Amino acid sequence: FSIFNLSFAMFLWIIVLTLINIKYAVVYLLSDFQCFFAFSQNGKVIAVTPWLSPIVWEGTFDPFLIDSIYRQQNITIATTVFALGKYTQFLKDFLESAEQNYFVGFRVHYYLFTDQPEQVPEVNLGEQRQLTVLKVPSSNRWQEITLRRMEKLEKLIESRLVNEADYVFSLDVDTKFYGQWGAESLGRLVGVIHPGYYQTPREQFPYERRPESQAYIPHAEGDYYYGGAVVGGLVKDVHEVAKTCREQLNIDAAKSIEAAWQEESHLNKYFLYNKPSKVLSPEYLWQDFKPHTNEVKIIRFSQVIKNYAAVRPNP
């Protein structure tokens, strides 16, 4: 009798655990795909890609639900930023606005690459937030700085992030956060639609069109034009992005080829054949000089207005 009761109790416990697992599985699926086939009320934005990955727009997700789900996982989000030369002037606004809006309540570790550690401003970081400064050589060509970012990201992942983080985002520093950016942006592989081309026909995308370049995309191909200022995802998937782009950049460099938009061109080539599992709308990469549109209800992250001639080391 006691053995029977014990077996029956174990059976009931297995049923309970199964139901709990099913419940959480459904919640995770809803959190990741709830924006499928959703449209904003006025802008009629498309919220799903042709390969059925969500495009994240305001109104297509519940931030409290998604954040609460991911907080239970006790995740760490690594965030890499490059500030070389006069670009250190953007660090204060970037970090202070990030502390107010970027993954608030999550464990975030900023990794800052700079040639001037002494210029890194003191910013009060919240609980579970930290900043690591990594010194790198300077360059007299902004193109070279851009081209080397994938290599630095690849090595950082291999040496540290593989053991220190769950997700990683690489973000441009000449930017500022204006709205909440949370767990709705997390996914296996994440890209952002460039704000300058989300209403542009594919034929007009500034892809690399020279066949001799590794970044080449034919006129008849392409999904979106992705901005190079934001790339993210699981550590292992971002490592594959960085590694592949670095290899392609090196092949081009050996042939004295520089893609139209450097690493951004190679990133677009990668995303063409390795589809992002989540695509962020231009809310997650706007430009301060652009007026608001009907589609963009909220600006979360935006490139600031600047005089390129004054901040870049060369034209």
Residue 264 is among the residues annotated as catalytic for this protein: yes
The answer on whether 173 is annotated among ligand-binding residues is yes
- Structure tokens that stand for 100 in this block: 């107010």
The answer on whether 288 is annotated among ligand-binding residues is no
Tell me the CA end-to-end span of the chain in Å, nearest whole number: 86
- Cα distance between residue 222 and residue 11, in whole Å: 52
DSSP code for 260: T
* Residue 154 and residue 100 in contact, taking contact as beta carbons nearer than 8 Å: no
* Residue 223 and residue 267 in contact, taking contact as beta carbons nearer than 8 Å: no
CA distances 185 to 32, 82, 158, Å, are 9, 21, 23
DSSP code for 208: B
The answer on whether 115 is annotated among ligand-binding residues is no
User: Residue 18: exposed, middle, or buried by beta-carbon count in 10 A (0-12, 13-18, 19+)?
Assistant: exposed
Q: Given 208, 264, 283, 295, which residue is catalytic? A: 264
The answer on whether 172 is annotated among ligand-binding residues is yes
The answer on whether 28 is annotated among ligand-binding residues is no
The answer on whether 264 is annotated among ligand-binding residues is yes
| DSSP letter string, 167-208 | EEEEEESSEEE-S-B-GGG--SEEEEE-TTTTTS-GGGS--B
- Cα distance between residue 290 and residue 255, in whole Å: 37
* Residues classed as catalytic: 264
Annotated binding site for Mn(2+), which residues? 172, 174
List residues forming the annotated binding site. Answer: 87, 172-174, 194, 264
